Amino acid sequence: MKLPGKLCELMRAVSRSFAISLSALPPKVRNPVALGYMLARASDTVADADAPVDDEERLQTLKELKEAIAGLSLPDSINSQSPAPTRTVGFAGYLTNRREQQLLRQIPMLMTYARLLPLSWRCELSGVLCKIIEGQQGDVITFPRQQSGFRALPDADALHRYTYMVAGCVGGFWTRLCLDAIPGYARVSPRRLVDDAVRFGCGLQLVNILRDRPEDLAKNRCYLPVCTGGNMPTEDVLLRESVFWYESARQQLKAGERYSAGIRGVRTRFAVLLPVLIGMRTLRLIEVAGAQAFRERLKVSRPEVRRLIFLALLRAGWPPALRESAV
């Protein structure tokens, strides 16, 4: 199955760096991962995009999309009769961002191509996307847009559950597809690979949370468990609380390095190492910035991304270098 150019262009538009990693995967794995990524981005748009839509409408739209995606796990004769997520497509009318509009309007095409996958892979795709959407539904409920005060996740367990639901579970999905499609993919036990993949996915999401704090604080929310009695935390409190989470994110990203050392193939190792390096560099930028990281969203520059692409290629082709720090 080959995705049409229109969807490939859309993939590059919604995520440049992930599209680079994706292009390194064998086509048999690349297409279901791309479909999953775009559908997850679509559901995230419904959950979190700036739009004049109340929480109830967002939850109902996510419910409709989740039910449509759950239908992918059904046999072909039943799956083909699953209702289209028309409410989700209509959500595009509330948006002003052109790329987000295009993404939601392509959901019927994404679903059409998803139905062409083998049933076992459709079950994998359906399972991971339903889990992601469940996490996004919880996000809408935890941080209502109509809230009048500051809110944070209650504890570390809640944060771990959230990062697992929206990102960590993707690592298991990616790994199971690669084990099925790529002969000799694993150099270590599949269970160890899945464990490292889940930790790595959670780490990437934690880096996103740390990077996106300026926008989240502006919306009176924080995904880190900060106890302030419902008041906006001071920068001193945020700096003190962040130390633990910086180290936690770093350790979880190192699981991505272990994962890359546990698989065969230069291209597949590169696909994993690039987000590891970008994540590590982003984390370093945030740490060095101190309190500025609460006021300004920091990201790796394009020239530096190009440098990291070269470094990921070098390390993917020379496994001993996987044990050396590079950022």
Q: Both 70 and 22 in a single domain?
A: yes
Task: Give the other-Cβ count within 10 Å of 75's Cβ.
Answer: 9
As a whole number of angstroms, the longest Cα–Cα distance in the chain is: 59
Q: For the domain that residue 215 is a member of, what is the CATH number?
A: 1.10.600.10
CB 59 within 8 A of CB 140: yes
User: What pTM value is reported for the model?
Assistant: 0.92
pLDDT of residue 77: 52
Q: Within 13 Å of residue 68, how many CA atoms lie on the same side as its CB?
A: 22
Rounded (5°) CA angle 69-115-104: 55
**15 within some domain:** yes
3-state DSSP assignment of residue 275: helix
Task: Give the other-Cβ count within 10 Å of 217's Cβ.
Answer: 16
For the stretch 60-70, pLDDT in tens is 999 999 999 99
**129 within some domain:** no
Per-residue confidence at 15, pLDDT binned at 50, 70, 90?
A: confident
For the stretch 249-296, pLDDT in tens is 999 999 999 999 999 999 999 999 999 999 999 999 999 999 999 999
**142 within some domain:** no
pLDDT of residue 275: 97
Q: Both 162 and 198 in a single domain?
A: yes
What is the number of domains present in the chain?
A: 2
CB 185 within 8 A of CB 262: no
CB 280 within 8 A of CB 327: yes
